[in-house]
Amino acid sequence: MALKHGLAAAVLALLGAGGLVAQEKRSGLDYMTPETRAMQEDDMSNPGMLFIAEGEGLWQAPAGAANIACSGCHGTAAQSMRGTATRYPAIEESTRRPIDLAGRINLCRQTQQKAQAFPAESPELLALTAYVAHQSRGMPIAPPADDRLTPYRKSGRDLFERRLGQLGLSCAACHEGHAGQRLGGSIIPQAHPTAYPLYRLEWQTLGSLQRRLRNCMTGMRAEPFAHGAPELIALEAYLMSRATGLPIETPGVRP
Amino acid sequence: MTTRPTLAEAVRGFTGNRDVRPGRVKLDVPPLVENGNAVGITVTVESPMSANDHVRRIGLFNEKNPQADIAVFHLGPRAGRARISTRIRLASSQTVMAVAEMSDGSLWFGEAQVIVTLAACIEDLL
Amino acid sequence: MTRALINTPKQAQQGEVIEIRAMIAHVMETGHRRDAQGAAVPRNIIHRFQCLYDDVEIFAADFYPAMAANPFIAFSTVATTSGVLTFAWTDDQGTIQRATAEITVV
């Protein structure tokens, strides 16, 4: 463990993405009640698994003018998608800009399947993204060592630390300054996106990291960035680099 | 807007004014929950679950939701044991009650208090 | 498409009490909420759940809006003979979703 955390710290230092020095990195899972943890950890009681089952169906269903399924090119997801979610957001070669996993799936859908992109936060996009991410469950988050991502991580970090909205809060003010303490009845987690898309009891359904970030901005009384906005992708890229080494949990359960 | 029946009134809807005794029914529910949208609950009734002596129905009720009913479970000797787990919604901190109707017509109840903590950052600010 | 997860033992001893767990994707709209425009969202819940063991009802439940979204239920039955467990969920729109699980009794 010491070695792993040492490595993670080294990677963060290289990325210029430090920030968690005082506390050991912890997933939000660690802050939950035993009941909510148990709901996540038992696949038969984790409601997110309903969406994984749907995602598996979508993976195998031919779609679009090309009438080809994800599995038509990528075969068995358990093999071809193993580890994929640990590396996103990544640079998309055709645009030379970062893209998150849901964006990558939608791009594949448009360019390969010749199908309409799924709308942001649609059940299909969430199910397919969760199914792909689920293939990396238990694997450590390992953002690519790609210099082209550095400026985006930097701008994501700047956003994370910038005070926004009517309450004058930043992400960092709560999730670094007060992580582990209570806000109302809730414990403030360290904001590591280890388990997305995840089933939030508040939402009563599966949702993306972008939904959560927009949700946080509403809580800060700030105008949320639009789904798919470059700011949200930059925040995702920064948060994933900040969470390096923590295992993927998809589909997580959170209160 | 009509007011909801009280917990006692809701239970009477299930028991039809027959006597309901405390005991034989156990509710397992966390005393404090992080979110009231999915509260895990297990109801266990002491019963041999034989052809002559078994649980026929279990009614589950709440004190403060917009509606008092949660669920009614129908079971019989083929269940083997009278234990049911499910997940319920609780709008606020309140009492939850389960009433079991036995094959001899007797009625028994158990209850539990649940504290629902308020989430700090919710999406819907309405 | 039925999105349900059923968990039962594939095999059991005759007379053994087995646990059955069933979960299904459903919004369980309470009828007490309003949408962003202020209009009441009509109730749509699964109001009836039934489990048959070779066509004989062994367990049923009436659900009300206080049941959580994506309803989960765990109950038990005595393994009698090798056969099929059939699950049916009926919602307010009249949609009946079904799932089955086979059990071998030795």
CATH classification at residue B32: 2.60.40.2470
Compute the average pLDDT of residues B92-120. Answer: 94
Compute the average pLDDT of residues A192-205. Answer: 97
Compute the average pLDDT of residues A9-38. Answer: 70
Residue B90 lies in a domain: yes
Both structure tokens of B88 = 């319920």
Q: For chain A, what percent of residues have pLDDT higher than 70?
A: 91
Compute the average pLDDT of residues A125-154. Answer: 98
Residue B2 lies in a domain: no
Task: Name the residue range of residue B61's domain.
Answer: 7-116
CA-wise closest residue to C88 among C51, C36, C39, C62:
C51
Q: Which residues of C touch A126 (CB under 8 A)?
A: none
Predicted pLDDT at A1: 37
Clarify whether A216 is annotated catalytic. yes
Please give the CATH superfamily to which domain A2-254 belongs: Cytochrome c-like domain (1.10.760.10)
DSSP code at position A31: G
Chain C residue with Cα closest to A49: C5
Measured in angstroms, the CA of C69 and the nearest CA of chain A are apart by 6
Interface touch B122/A186, C-beta < 8 Å: no
Q: Which residues of A touch C25 (CB under 8 A)?
A: 47, 50-51, 54
What's the rounded Cα separation, in Å, for the pair B110 and B25? 5
Residues 6+ apart with CB under 8 A from A192: A25, A26, A27, A28, A239, A242, A243, A246
Residue B125 lies in a domain: no
pLDDT band at B117 (very low <50, low <70, confident <90, very high): confident
Predicted pLDDT at C2: 65
Residue with tokens 């390992």: A142
The total number of structural domains in chain B stands at 1
Which among B32, B38, B123 has the least Cβ separation from residue A215?
Answer: B123
A50 and C CB contact within 8 Å = yes
Q: Which C-chain residues 19-58 have CB contacts (< 8 A) with chain B? A: 30, 32, 34, 53, 56-58
Q: Is the pTM of this model over 0.90?
A: yes
Q: Which C-chain residues 86-105 have CB contacts (< 8 A) with chain A? A: none
How does DSSP assign A117-183, residue by residue? PPPTT-HHHHHHHHHHHHTTTTSBP-----GGGHHHHHHHHHHHHS-BTTTTB-HHHHHTTSTTSEE
pLDDT band at B119 (very low <50, low <70, confident <90, very high): low
pLDDT at A2 over 50: no
Instruction: Give the lowest-confidence range in A3-17, B38-52, B80-94.
Output: A3-17
pLDDT band at C70 (very low <50, low <70, confident <90, very high): very high
Query: Which residue among the candidates A70, A171, A174, A216 is catalytic per the annotation?
Result: A216
Domain positions in chain C are: 4-105
pLDDT at A183 over 80: yes
pLDDT tens digits along B37-79: 999 999 999 999 999 999 999 999 999 999 999 999 999 999 9
Residue B124 lies in a domain: no
Q: What is the CA radius of gyration of chain A?
A: 18
Q: For chain B, what percent of residues have pLDDT higher than 70?
A: 93
Domain positions in chain A are: 2-254
Task: Name which CATH class applies to C4-105.
Answer: mainly beta
Compute the average pLDDT of residues A148-167. Answer: 97
pLDDT at C1 over 70: no
Both structure tokens of A181 = 């303490």
ipTM metric: 0.95
DSSP code at position A30: G
Using DSSP's 3-state secondary structure scheme, residue A66 falls into coil
